[in-house]
Amino acid sequence: MVVRRRPQRGHRFTESPLLQLALQGWRSRMVGLLLMAAFLTLVARGFYLQVINNDFLQEKGDSRYRRDIEVSASRGKITDRNGDMLAVSTPMKSIWAIPGDARAMEVPQKRQLAAMLEMSVRELDGKIAADKTFVFVKRQVPPETAELITQAKFPGIHQEKEYRRFYPTGDMTAHIVGFTGVDDKGLEGVELAFQKSLLGHPGNRTVIRDRRGNIIEDVGSIKPPQDGKEIRLALDSKIQYLAYSQLKLAVSEHKAKAGGIVVLDAKTGEILALANLPTYNPNNRQHLSGAQLRNRAVTDTFEPGSTLKPFTAAMALDKGKFRYDSVINCAPGRMTIGSATISDAHPHGALTVAQVIQKSSNVGATKLALSFPPKEMWEMFDAVGFGQLPQLGFPGEVNGRLRPWKSWRPIEQATMSYGHGISVSLIQLARAYSVFARDGDLVPLSLVKTDEPVVHGVPVFSAQTARELRAMLEMAAGPEGTAPKARVPGYRVGGKTGTAHKLEAGNYANKYVSSFVGIAPISDPRLIVAVMIDEPSAGRHYGGDVAGPVFSQVMGASLRTLGIPPDAPIQVAEVGASRGKL
């Protein structure tokens, strides 16, 4: 028989001696102290991180939600001398995506977005398939399209403000203004030459974004953007249009490969017009070729031919060895130097120095040149800027070719006297003629508008020599000269033709560069116009026939545009000849 003991009444189960654990006094106190120390350590650490040194946690938090967004600065405008717009930035949008979120779009949404952005669904899929946290979907989207995308609320698709460059004058000013890339940086022309001034400085603003990249709070502006500086060019849009349109007509009429034209203000050295063909539309640069992009007036060189004869004559007069009316025997129209023979296009007998320029005699120019040592001739060419950079700051400008005088042979000095064996750019040639328009001094050229005329340039020839050369150039553009088609009704003009064979593989080919450079009005020169037509192939190739008429039309219309008063009577025959033209 089993006897069960009943627990005593009033004794609790939890007070059972078996459940009691007796600790020694010092051990309990130690545990308490350790727990207190751990608690104080956590409190101190929390106080240190959140109050004393909270930069670390703040940085970690900001890195996840706070962003500094760049605020684009508007690129500076480019205008002509009268304030007419040549280049301006218009606000656009860039569409970007968080690929991980954008892949959640359904097929109909992808089709809708692709249609809005004028791209294929396959192309869109290729962009959002990237293993990145950020990717551009399309740059420079019109604001109205961007607004439609915003309203559609495509997952993972976002947008930012940017700018696109617009060129109101298109292909007419393409080679002087240039263009920018998709990142708004200058790539050609004035856009590249004045990149630092035009670019401006972007600003910043701070925003809070959620994990999907959506801006939920604009904290404030750190730095406002500084827009780029406006550049006012020396270019005159009206004269530029005249020059471009007449060059285009001439290249088409003579079935030429290319052409270039420059108009300078003789008083200031400003470039009032510069045009080339072929050209391009900077607003739509798809399928461009290198030939279209080349600014031939600045980057290409050619043998100038007889347009250099006035410089040979000026040297002869300025050195005092010859006078305006000194007679030179040019018979029988040719001369032999070593194994080479120099010939005139039309044989002449005795000619004065003035007639050598009027009739464009190679023999006469050669005899003038060979009466001087090569060093003096080289120094004269160097003084007018040949073989040197024009120092416009223009992209791609070239020196041309002027070999050291010590290596010249007599035949080389002879051919350089009438523009062979030396190469120049059209802008160099136009600038060099300023010594005749400005009483013998050479002025620097300017792409930007200047406020005051250049009073004194670098002296090259005496004022008397320059005046006598102007008279010779007027004779060359007269009825008995080589360029009667360069005359301008109501104005006295002077200039010189150039017709040079082209060099190909070291040999002269049966191809020509036709040119004309002239000044007007002769009584008080204001403008210099230089024209070059490359490879005319419609039957005529002489500079007086091909380039002379372009000079006449551009010079006449430009003088009238500037309000320059006529300095010659207008003949009835001249009025009839100019009817129907600019």
- Beta-carbon count within 10 A of 35 CB: 10
The DSSP 8-state label assigned to residue 297 in this structure reads H
- Name the nearest CA neighbour of 233 among 448, 23, 382, 436: 448
Beta strands of 49-132 (E only): which ranges? 66-71, 78-79, 85-97
Q: What angle, rounded to 10 degrees, do the helices at 362-369 and 410-417 form?
A: 120
Beta strands of 285-339 (E only): which ranges? 327-329, 334-337
Bridge partners (DSSP) listed for residue 514? 499, 533
**Could you say which of 72, 89, 306, 552 is catalytic?**
306
Q: What share of the chain is helix, strand, coil (3-state, %, to 5)?
A: 40, 25, 40
Do 140 and 164 touch, CB atoms closer than 8 A? yes
The DSSP 8-state label assigned to residue 578 in this structure reads H
**What CA–CA distances, in Å, run from 380 to 137, 375, 405, 468, 472?**
59, 9, 11, 17, 19
Q: Which single residue is written with the structure tokens 């359904």?
A: 106
Q: What is the DSSP string of 352-409?
A: EHHHHHHHT-HHHHHHHHTTS-HHHHHHHHHHTTTTS------TT----B---GGG--
The DSSP 8-state label assigned to residue 562 in this structure reads T
Tallying the residues shown for the chain, one arrives at 582
- Name the nearest CA neighbour of 137 among 102, 92, 105, 109: 102
The DSSP 8-state label assigned to residue 418 in this structure reads T
Kindly report the CA angle at 259 between 255 and 264, in degrees rounded to 5? Answer: 145
Q: Determine phi and psi for 337, rounding to 5 degrees.
A: -125, 110
- Beta-carbon count within 10 A of 412 CB: 18
Instruction: Measure the CA–CA gap between 436 and 493, rounded to whole angstroms.
Output: 12
Instruction: Measure the CA–CA gap between 20 and 490, rounded to whole angstroms.
Output: 129
Using omega within 30 degrees of 0 as the cis cutoff, is the peptide bond preceding 521 cis?
A: yes
Residue 256 belongs to what H/E stretch? none
Instruction: Measure the CA–CA gap between 139 and 491, rounded to whole angstroms.
Output: 53
Q: Is 306 a catalytic residue?
A: yes
Instruction: Measure the CA–CA gap between 315 and 338, rounded to whole angstroms.
Output: 25
Do 47 and 196 touch, CB atoms closer than 8 A? no
Catalytic annotation, residues: 306
